[in-house]
Amino acid sequence: AIPLVAQIATSLGAKNGVLVRSRAALEEARLTDVVLFDKTGTLTEGRQGVVEVAAADDVSETRVLRLAAAVEADAEHPIAAAIVTSARERGLDVESAEGFETQRGRGVSGVVGGEHVVVGSPRVIAERGLRAPDAMAAAAENAQSAGNTVVFVITGEKSAERVIGMIAVADVIRAESKDAIAALRRRGVRVAMLTGDAKPVADAVAAQLGIDEVIAEVLPEQKASAVSALQRDGSRVMMVGDGVNDAPALAQADVGVAIGAGTDVAIESAGIVLASSDPRGVPMTVALSAHTYRKMT
């Protein structure tokens, strides 16, 4: 009788945008102790837009945006798209940088008009021993506590690098995220957020969603280890993500759930796909699993 019930559950799920790629994932879902949600593109829509540009005293905001856009022109990250779009909207010509390089989870670099430019996370300026001017650092702090992601623009050769600008990008929290988290809580499932973004940004978004457990500033290659650390503590982990960076974590989790609007790699690493990108599909998966397999031990 179980396979038939599972078939019914599978088609019921499909009607609600929950696609079961692996029967084992559906069966395991009811045993979930903790759900780890990726932030960007999963709990948020992943359509970032530039909301603020700050520049050092002797530099124009236009120059900050123009240099950043040139380096981001060939990058794939949603932050890159936001910066390039914003530059074009301000009527700037976006040239392409030479020697473009990506440091995954950190930022990008390249040469623009003979000048070396880096656009990267707060971690990047710390790692290079740099500091933003006080006013810019304060602006960055404010942006982060509002839940906005911050990147810095650095110019100059190794010995003479300086932070010339800050760009804040905002994303929209999915309307359904809060309900999804509350529904999991009601089932007694622990909920946590996993992100490469800075801790203050992650904390601000988590507070808006009622999540009190935040694992932030995680580099792409560390996301799967964050999952296995929870598993070592004896937890069954469900990971929900959208991006290339999340694929190893989705594969490591007891149940991987990919957001349908995400990348093919994410989808291939997941047992469950949320076709409509609605995070409420997560508590629905747990409930479907519990109903389908409740007679089993």
How far apart are the two ends of the chain, measured CA to CA in Å?
15
Strands 49-55 and 34-38: unpaired
| Minimal distance, residue 43 CB to Mg ion, in Å | 10
**Pair 288, 29: CB distance under 8 Å:** yes
Active-site option among 33, 38, 58, 171? 38
Q: Applying CB under 6 A, which of residues 32, 40, 252, 277 lies at the interface with ligand ADP?
A: 40
Rounded CA separation 209/66 (Å): 35
Question: Based on CB atoms, which residue is closest to Mg ion, 5 or 81?
Answer: 81
Question: CA dist 132 to 46, 60, 141, 221, Å?
Answer: 27, 15, 11, 27
Q: Applying CB under 5 A, which of residues 18, 19, 40, 151 lies at the interface with Mg ion?
A: 40
Q: Does 248 contact Mg ion by CB under 5 A?
A: no
Beta partners for 273? 19, 258
Q: Is the dihedral of CA 46, 49, 52, 56 positive or negative?
A: positive
Q: Applying CB under 6 A, which of residues 9, 43, 119, 168 lies at the interface with ligand ADP?
A: 119
Question: Based on CB atoms, which residue is closest to Mg ion, 41 or 107?
Answer: 41
The yes-or-no answer on residue 38 being catalytic is yes
3-state secondary structure of 286: helix
Question: Based on CB atoms, which residue is closest to Mg ion, 155 or 263?
Answer: 263
Q: Does 147 contact ligand ADP by CB under 6 A?
A: no
Q: Applying CB under 6 A, which of residues 59, 75, 132, 193 lies at the interface with ligand ADP?
A: 75
Q: Does 86 contact ligand ADP by CB under 6 A?
A: no
Read off the amino acid at residue 187: R
Q: Fill in the per-residue mask, 248 to 277: x = in contact with ligand ADP (CB under 6 A), - = not in contact.
A: ------------------------------
Rounded CA separation 105/193 (Å): 16
Residue 86: both structure tokens together: 């914003």
**Pair 204, 225: CB distance under 8 Å:** no
- Give me the DSSP letters along 145-167: HTT-EEEEEEES-GGG-EEEEEE
Q: Does 105 contact Mg ion by CB under 5 A?
A: no
54 binds, among ligand ADP, Mg ion, none (CB under 5 to 8 A by kind): none
Q: Does 53 contact ligand ADP by CB under 6 A?
A: no
* Subset of residues 121 to 140 that bind ligand ADP, contact rule: CB under 6 A: 121
**Rule CB under 5 A: which residues touch Mg ion?**
38, 40-41, 243
Positions marked catalytic:
38
